[in-house]
Chains A and B, each alone.
Chain A
Amino acid sequence: MAAARTTEERIRDYLGSKLPAARDLTLSDFVQTAGGWSHEIYIFYANWKEDGRERREGFCLRKDPGSGLLRELSSLKEQFAVIKALEKTAAPTPKAYWYEEDPSLLGGPFFVMEKVEGEVPNPWSRAGKQFYAEAAKRGKLPRSFVEALASLHNLDWRAAGLDFIGVPGPGKDFALREIEKWEILIRQSISKPEPVLTEVLMWLKANAPQAQRLAFVHGAYRSGNLIIRDDAIAAIIDWELQVIGDPMYDVAYVLSDLNREGSPLLSCVVDRDFFLDYYERLTGLKVDLEICRYYEILYMMRSTAFWLSASGLFAEGRNKDLRLARTTYSVPVVLDMAAKALGF
């Protein structure tokens, strides 16, 4: 009986089918990254001969494991289409190559994109914090951090064809839609009543702000979701939570304490005053700190939804990753943050 082909072999065969002129195709430096709670992520180089010349290119493959953190909210097809649409814009993103739905290929939907050279230091690690702190002193990376965010908020999302991800109505519609989206995940994940979360949700609905203008919003813009090369943002990654919405939603995420654990710098890399001033100059927007405070509480609700989903997947036996089990203890901690932000 023939031995089952490994994931690496199946990916190599798939790539061969997409590169029909390639001869002697091999993969090297093949790794499945430890990060990524929603998808399996494989990074590798393909080496082949074509027209008598040696070729070598880096690829990144994201695959739906069928039991990812965001459940039905995460669509690889949409991610692929977003990255493809962004290729034509000034936003630094990888090139998107192929999307496949056929489960017979790798066991679930996946897409392949360019491997952008650079590094993604983990901002939660001591080494990562040190990397960002030293880069902050040199000054180039903080500027690039703000410029890349502004490139998203300034882009003409209709012209880029990004309206397919959904366009909220005027006024409070963006915030209300966002709350509704996470409430769906909460309802899918929850196994017992969470009255603190109910109070947070009701407060959020009762106090939804008006969007200043609609922009293309990343939804999780922070160090750790950015590939860095030569002290500049080479690519924005982790395209799972993007929306057309209030740009203050991204600004609030940058301002949030959730993303800097112990660092005086926003997202461990940029001084707060510099960020606010430079962002306003690049976008022409006025940062409304009160609205940002509202979105920070919305992020706490969103984090609670993540952790309920993660621990729920584990408790249901759908995903055996112990990292998901650990999040059962994160739920009260993030609810505590939200409660304190609301004054109780």
Chain B
Amino acid sequence: MIPAKQLLNEIVSSLRNVIAPAIAEPFPKAQAYMAAVILEFVSRQVEERSDIAEGKHEALATLFCNLSQLSGSDRLLGGGPASEAELNRLIEQLYAQRAQIGEESFTAANRLVRQTLRQLLDQDLKVAGKAGV
């Protein structure tokens, strides 16, 4: 996702340079400029949500711990830190080595991976979902 501060700054720029100059009527024109000013203050107040990053980190750490207990997991785990980049690599390895690790191990590992992916998605949907949490 685009960082909130970057988005706010771009909206300020659009209000000031695109929207407001195109408005002929004085009152809505002043409102557009004022919205830009207020958003600049809001931008200074905003902090990215830390609970999302923490929730993702916890889900990833649990996954890599659980995977290490599966037989044949040494073929999959690269030893890197539990991160989304490492999970990307692991998913590619899992499919690439499907024949070697066998269908049973593939299914077990894939089930754990998908549980984690669901948890990661749920974190992103806290912001992007229709209801927001």
Contacts and interface: CB of A to CB of B under 8 A. Distances in A.
Contacts of B7: 325, 328
Contact of A333 (B84, B94, B125): B125
B129 A195 contact: no
A274 B127 CA distance: 40
Contacts of B10: 314, 320, 322, 325
B115 A344 contact: yes
B47 to A, nearest CB: 18
A192 B2 contact: no
B20 interface: no
Interface stretch (A101-109, A198-206, A223-231): A198-206
Given A320-B14, A331-B128, A344-B117, A315 B6 contact: yes
A124 interface: no
B131 to A, nearest CB: 12
A65 interface: no
Contacts of B46: none
A301 interface: no
B34 interface: no
Contacts, number: 85
Interface in A158-204: 192-196, 198-199, 202
| Most chain B CB inside 10 Å of its own CB: which residue of A193, A195, A320, A330 | A195
Given A314-B2, A325-B2, A330-B128, A195 B14 contact: no
A196 B121 contact: yes
A193 B128 contact: no
A206 B92 CA distance: 11
Main SS at interface, chain B: helix
A321 to B, nearest CB: 9
A202 B14 contact: no
A81 to B, nearest CB: 35
A335 B125 CA distance: 10
A313 to B, nearest CB: 11
B133 interface: no
Nearest to B113: A199
Contacts of B84: 192-195
Interface residues of B, number: 32
B127 A329 contact: yes
A205 to B, nearest CB: 7
A199 B114 contact: yes
B22 interface: no
B1 A199 contact: no
Contacts of A192: 84
A322 B14 contact: yes
Nearest to B87: A195
A198 B87 CA distance: 9
A202 B6 CA distance: 32
A339 interface: yes
Interface of A: 192-196, 198-199, 202, 205-206, 311, 314-315, 320, 322, 325, 328-333, 335-336, 339, 342-344
Interface of B: 1-2, 6-7, 10-11, 13-14, 18, 83-85, 87-88, 91-92, 94-95, 98, 113-115, 117-118, 120-121, 124-125, 127-130
Given A195-B88, A344-B115, 12 more contacts: A193-B85, A196-B121, A199-B113, A199-B114, A202-B92, A202-B94, A322-B11, A329-B1, A329-B128, A331-B124, A332-B127, A335-B121
Interchain residue pairs A-B with the least CB separation, the first 7: A332-B124, A344-B114, A193-B84, A329-B128, A195-B87, A202-B95, A332-B128
6 contacts: A199-B113, A206-B98, A328-B7, A332-B124, A332-B125, A333-B128
